[in-house]
Amino acid sequence: MDKNLKVYIMVITLLVAASCNIGFDRDKIPLAKVGDKTLYLDDLRSVLPSGLSYDDSIMMAEDYIKKWVMNELLVKKAEENLSPSQKDMAKELMEYRNSMLTYRYKMELMFQKLDTLVDEREMKSYYDQNKDNFILGRDIVKAIFIKIPAEVSRPEQVKVFCEQVSDDSIRELQEFCLKFAITYDIFIDNWVEFERIAQNLPEQLSDPEKALRRNNILEFRDSEFYYVLCVNDYRLAGNIAPIEYVEGNIRNLVINRRRIDFLKKIEDDVYLEGIRNNKFKLYSYEPEAND
């Protein structure tokens, strides 16, 4: 930015900060002018956040003024070079206004009347009719993962907790993990991507699918820790996802289908109302052969 303008902005900023009682209209101090357009101090103050440091205020003021000048120069250049027909935006503005009005009207009706509750029966029905649309892209599991210091690992006890999945055993396992585990995750009620858990293991599985098919308990050890991954259930990539895993997607799909139907109904209802109340008239038209 021009050095003189930078100094000017600094002076203006100092005036704003220090001259609360000066007896002139500080808001009408001009900061920049392009053609007959003027940027005033008040315009700048309205966009600058409060609580900025002095340096940040100067930096943001410079940036805003430069962008304002650039935009006004571009507008001026466009005004000078476009033809009258190119500058006539009445039709575009009217189309935009009409589009926004109808959009807001439809959105308001949807907000007031669209039912967004999806019960289990409807989700199950949608799932059964569209299973081929819910093919897994990755392996998923219901599992327990635990990482424990080697000296307090108690592998046999941990495996007992994992194999006897019940409210009591899970509670005991949580108490054990809170005392001894470095980290643990219990995904018994929720499906999770196997990769999300496997990345915590000390070594990469060469064949995750084979590991899942052959083992319900995977154990690993290094010099410091004992790792155990207890797989309670799994689904492999390429198979149909269990409904619990895709419930969120199904709910969104059902609501989106309702939204589409609702918007179509709005248009149909408005058209039928127009017919009933003679709000429009259609004229017959037969195009000529060369139209």
The predicted model scores a pTM of: 0.67
pLDDT-derived band of residue 6, with 50, 70 and 90 as boundaries? Answer: low
Question: Burial letters for 177-189: b for 16+ Cβ neighbours within 10 Å, e otherwise?
Answer: beebbeebbbbee
Q: Report the pLDDT value the prediction gives residue 12, as an integer from 0 to 100.
A: 53
pLDDT-derived band of residue 119, with 50, 70 and 90 as boundaries? Answer: very high
Q: What is the mean pLDDT of the chain?
A: 85
pLDDT one-digit tens code per residue, 43-52 = 888 888 888 7
Kindly report the CATH class assigned to 136-235.
Answer: alpha beta
Which range is least confidently modeled, 71-75, 163-167, 241-245?
Answer: 163-167
Question: Burial letters for 137-146: b for 16+ Cβ neighbours within 10 Å, e otherwise?
Answer: eebbbbbbbb
Dist CA 86 CA 88 (whole Å): 6
Which range is least confidently modeled, 38-47, 156-165, 240-249, 259-268?
Answer: 156-165
Asked if residue 241 lies in contact with residue 140, where contact means CB atoms within 8 angstroms, the answer is yes
Domain residue spans of the chain: 3-81, 96-135+245-291, 136-235
8: which DSSP letter?
Answer: H
